[in-house]
Structure 1
């Protein structure tokens, strides 16, 4: 019976055949232990010379790292295995022999591993991170579909930008200028006016020359937008969504979290609601902590976000940033024009901002005024302003950066490990 490693628990005591790659092996004169993987999981195959004969045993001993094989054996329960099962090998055949596999079971430098990212993905650690990423994506669709959202796909090529064009990749669209999208938000607002509650999930691009562990040039965003949702409504959706994906990973990726050595107690503590800190109070707190480099009106940097987040076991909202440092589309606080109804959600453990969101301006004249203040071409945004001309309503939305969220939940230090093929300032290969 042909099966996969993830399904062997359904065949205890039975003979199965698995197509797999050899991750590693160790052997003596009488027994060989094969570390096998097939993409769905990892299992140890035990080859006993007295049971399989000399020909099969020598074939097992001679296997090279990452050779592909068909392995036939009996599934046995094994409490010593993190997976809970092992395979008593009866037969094996080599599909393709691997020669001089470059990533050996020893320490390799980061640049070497990134140059071989196409192969590094095969490792236990990277496999675990990608499985957690997949679970977050699966749970995202479940959360929004269950809560009445409609999936909408905004364009990647755009003629304008939600936050100006200084950090966008420019290209020619025949005889026009175009940009790779830094956010689908403006288009999602249009979709929300048609469909009520919508969300997108797709690639975004930022031409930031940043080398920090939190930044990628190409990354994926989940961007919900909701008609008739005001600022506080928006925060509730965010904290419920983040709580949901955390619980989904804890439930469905226990083995992967264990493999990564993740302290799951920190994740288990994360349940809505999340604390909220007003920007005014954040600045006061930072001054009390000795941060003399920041004044009211400045944007918060990574050290500032980390200092605030260290006071909480859950993610924390920093709300009501100054109007002057935020994009043109954010709704002013009705009691203070110098701040807007926005919030950044800061993950604990030093992972920084994972969500940025706000209530959007719904007044046509105010939006036109903001476009003028930001020196943005009103013709390029004509379609966007028309959303306020034909039945404007209060509406809100946010964007969650998938890679930062994967890094945080997985516990990996750098976002480059949270995406299959990262695009960094100095890396476009492989």
Structure 2
């Protein structure tokens, strides 16, 4: 039985800087709700914009900060305090008291990350609200901890635990960053699978919806944690098979059936996880990597033909590893990725199954025997059959 949230978050969708498409589905689906006050965004009414507030029962678990305190804690949001930038604002380095969690002067107390959203973005607020309502009640070792928030006038800020090693994206793709060993990559894959398995085990079967390397943060021990829950959604419940949403996320990571139809299920996360696993194996970006054909070809298009053939898997492995990895484990990990990327979401494994298989690889010394090995063998032929339809589906359904 899954773990139940104290109170399911009721949220409207937030937009993505990557792509956006409106889809509707009649019948047995759960539809996104659009708040009535959002009409003011279209200019059809002069009513003032009324933005929703955090659920009091959830936000009471978090520290409430005022803007001036966070301004002091981050050196007045100076550029030299910036840790990173997202679609809706900057993340700054800040300090709080480790006992009271009150904001403190720079250099005093515990380091935190402070996300400051752009004041002009209504959708940015909705993502901020999703973060508060989800991370205010979800607690797991592989989810970034939300410490508190600020909601003052038009100011929207979030205070998180500080992740000293930054994002997986930086470690895989930024020049000058120390190369991650095979064992570290598999540990990260397991951590991410644990985080997703936790989300999918909840009664609301929360769908993360924004799985990508830049949203996976690493602590000092390279423990991976999921961050940025602005696009998270409650999954289907009862006899519903999916929820119907506007398509949001990042090209190259989003499941093809979700991009094409707006149908969202936990298996959408499984596909995106498969893409991240491919990035860990290959050291190549999900989209636009010049070594896989530039901007038009995705990593999935390039890699899938190799995944089901154990003799060809080494051709896609990150050459920077210099062959320093367990060959059998790499073949098995490629097989797991192939299953996650199946064109038919019903034939993708659930995240707990993926987690079980990857945990085996962490300790594999010789040829690992996986519970899903028979399925991996079957998918050798499925890869060949699905490669071209999968590519064509994405080509025809990606919004421009």
Q: TM-score range by the shorter chain?
A: under 0.3
Look at both structures and tell me which one has the larger radius of gyration over its CA atoms. Answer: 1
- Of Structure 1 and Structure 2, the greater strand share is in 1
What TM-score, normalized to structure 2?
Answer: 0.25
- Of Structure 1 and Structure 2, the greater helix share is in 2
